Amino acid sequence: MQEYDPSSESESQVDIVELLLKRQAELSALLEVTRAINSNVPSQTLIEMLEMIMRNNLRVRKFRLMLRNIDQFFCVSNFGDELEDFEDLQKIGDELLPLRNAQKITKHQDPLFNAYDYFIPVHHKDEALAFVLVGKFKNEEKLLDNSVDYIQTLINVIIVAFENKKLFKERLHRERLTREVELARQVQNMLIPQDLPNNLFLDVASVYKPHQSIGGDFFDFIQLNNDEFLWCVADVSGKGISAALIMANFQASLRALVSLNITLPELVKRLNKNVYKNTNGDRFITLFIGLYNDKTRRLKYINAGHNASVIIQKDNIGTLSTGTTMIGAFDELPFINEGEIDVMPETIIFNYTDGIVEYDGDEEQSLTEENLLHFLYQNRDKSIKEVNNALIEKIEELRHHEEASDDITILSLKIH
């Protein structure tokens, strides 16, 4: 018969008391962390709280917290011994993360691994968000498995808080970007002429369809005096906000320079200087600019690497291609040629950007320049607004009403 040992019962009671006190401390620490998260304290504060709990409550003497950013893990918290090389910590994560559960690694054959007691991963669904390496528990530490479970719970809570902070920041960034894009769109719409002439002497009609909320296409119509008007259609390389900003600056330059009453070649020369200065040659603009004098019925124009505007006079159709290279690519334009032509009554001039004839889909979904000329000639007796609308319908049918891959801009003139 086994003798009763009162000392054994006393040790068990001490163990239970120690466990209860330990659990109470752990729950209190977890509650403090939760309160801090709900108070939206900075991430660094959460890291400091985590390290304090690891050192004081759990008596961990070596610790590494590796957080995922895109496809790599980076150490965001560590203490105890000199920090290993980045590649070494990556190696541990690459090998052990597929296991998904906490692993005791003291007996691992690689000394890089067995320098720690436990590897603790943090997953969300199928994605690994972080992992923890802990080691050098004090020898008197008891119930290590329970401590590891607690560490895993604590790390999960903190990592989820990090993820929520990141998602919140991303949402704020998206909302701010959306507001900025909307503001840019409103500003750009203000820059696009809304009231175009439609009278006994001249009809002007336009279509402006940016690929995104804002675009890199541009057109302007400027009445210089009773006898002269100038118009411009342009396309900046690239898309989005940066393209729209470049184009807004270009329009401001155009309007300022036009007021100086300089020749078209000088105007294009100065526009090139301004664009090159603002973009350092990283962006370029193609454009067509025309100047018409109603008294002399003379049209002067320069095509700077742009899609050639189409001119229809009675039964003749042609293109306006004389000019220079794109502007903004070079500090000095290699040449500038000015085109001139006499304008007959009821002449149509069709200006457009490359979104009309270029498309990323199948070849049969694209409108060739030859097709465009044929279409315009066949519809030359319609009003220019009707021609524009019919052309857009034709393009949408060809492309099966799929989203355009580029901005589309049309500026049509009919000079009576």
Residue 393: count of CB within 10 angstroms of its CB: 10
Average pLDDT estimate for 129-144 = 70
Cα–Cα distance, 300 to 286 (Å, whole number):
17
Average pLDDT estimate for 104-112 = 88
Q: Could you tell me which residues are beta bridge partners of residue 403?
A: none
Sign of dihedral through CA atoms 274, 278, 280, 285? negative
Average pLDDT estimate for 385-410 = 82
CATH 3.30.450.40 domain range(s) in the chain? 6-169
Read off the pLDDT band of 20 (50, 70, 90).
low
Full-prediction pTM beyond 0.75? Answer: no
pLDDT at 159: 84
Instruction: Quickly count helices (H) and strands (E) in the chain.
Output: 9, 16
pLDDT at 73: 86
CATH 3.60.40.10 domain range(s) in the chain? 192-415
Quick one: which of 141, 124, 123, 121 has its CA closest to 57?
141
The residue with greater pLDDT, 166 or 207, is 207
Read off the pLDDT band of 389 (50, 70, 90).
very high
Token duo for residue 123: 């997953």
- Among 123-127, 168-172, 187-191, name the most confident range: 123-127
Query: What backbone phi and psi angles, to 5 degrees, belong to 120?
Result: -125, 110
Task: List for the chain the helix, strand, coil content (%; round to 5).
Answer: 45, 25, 30
Class in CATH terms, 6-169: alpha beta
- B/e letters for 32-48, b = 16+ CB within 10 Å, e = fewer, are ebeebbeeeeeeeebbe
| Whole-number percent of the chain with pLDDT over 70 | 84
- Any residues with CB less than 8 A from the CB of 376 and at least 6 apart, and which? 310, 312, 317, 348, 350, 387, 391
- Ranking 146-160, 277-291, 354-368 by mean pLDDT, the lowest is 354-368
pLDDT at 139: 45
Which single residue is written with the structure tokens 């100065």?
270
pLDDT at 268: 95
pLDDT at 390: 92
Q: For 33-61, write each residue's pLDDT tens digit.
A: 888 888 888 888 888 888 888 888 888 88
The residue with greater pLDDT, 265 or 365, is 265
Res 412 pLDDT > 50: yes
Average pLDDT, the chain: 83
Average pLDDT estimate for 335-346 = 95
Res 157 pLDDT > 80: yes
The residue with greater pLDDT, 383 or 54, is 383
Read off the pLDDT band of 145 (50, 70, 90).
low
Class in CATH terms, 192-415: alpha beta
